[in-house]
Structure 1
């Protein structure tokens, strides 16, 4: 199993893409898929913000503004996730529209994070430190998953708590 934080984050990004493809399929069990996406998305963001982002900001070669911007984009993603979760009818046009808003927000964030923060981390942070950050990321991520962080009430709380980050 990979322990490099960059590889772990990239693996989650690929899983988000798989879940988005499945969520776009009108024949899929959208409620179950959305629950998985919500839990993974929230756990991933909270693990990045609690351990990975603060550590990366200590490296002068990693762009602090990009790290801060990544946290802002997490807040936008939480808002878009909440908006989708609050639509009851997964077959409705409103649900489809909210899904596309979430997909757009997440794809934008993933693209920027991979091109900036993660490339910088891969080039500037030692293998040992990336492995250490990977273990911390995995532990926090699993703690959040165990806390049922994809639950609607939890997502409402974090969306409200992060509203001030959105410009």
Structure 2
């Protein structure tokens, strides 16, 4: 199987758009909200773990990437994971509690996506050479796939990730 070379910024942005679409599905009474939550949980955990293991450490070495923003991004991953777990633990999809926990998740995740795109990813665009961004894209995709294959979005794993933060 031949893998297409992909810029890490583009890959991360694709994940962000997918997360936003999954959040929209979780809000809709016409959608399969449980499936959307399951898909979202897997992507959020795999994406965050791959960023923290492979992308963030590499980006910290470049001039226009603010290390404090990278560390703040990690904190925001933790907040999103906690909000995700709280929603996953709600017993009834569509209940008032579901809506409340979903709102908290949406707030945490969309805030992070916005900040990451404006600070970390723009810094990467400005200072990381194209070849290095492509290398990071491959490493990110490989690590993300490893987490997805390991069922990283299961409630048991999300609990473990939150505990380890």
Work out whether the TM-score is over 0.5: yes
1:116 has 2:124 as partner: no
Q: How many residues were matched structurally?
A: 162
Take 2:76 and 2:39, find their aligned partners in 1: how far apart are those partners?
Answer: 20
Calculate the aligned-residue CA RMSD, in Å. 0.8
Take 1:2 and 1:27, find their aligned partners in 2: how far apart are those partners?
Answer: 37
Name the stretch that deviates more: 26-35 or 93-102.
Answer: 26-35
Runs of 4+ in structure 1 over 4 Å off: none
Take 2:94 and 2:121, find their aligned partners in 1: how far apart are those partners?
Answer: 36
1:34 has 2:31 as partner: no
Take 1:150 and 1:2, find their aligned partners in 2: how far apart are those partners?
Answer: 26
Q: TM-score, with normalisation over the residues of structure 1? A: 0.95
Aligned to 2:22: 19
Take 2:134 and 2:22, find their aligned partners in 1: how far apart are those partners?
Answer: 26
1:74 has 2:70 as partner: no
1:48 has 2:51 as partner: yes
Aligned to 2:162: 159
Cα deviation for residue 38 of structure 1 reads: 0.1
Aligned to 2:147: 144
- Unaligned runs of 5+ residues in structure 1 are 163-167
- Unaligned runs of 5+ residues in structure 2 are none
Q: TM-score, with normalisation over the residues of structure 2? A: 0.96
Aligned to 2:93: 90
Do the aligned partners of 1:5 and 1:131 also contact (CA within 8 Å) in 2?
yes
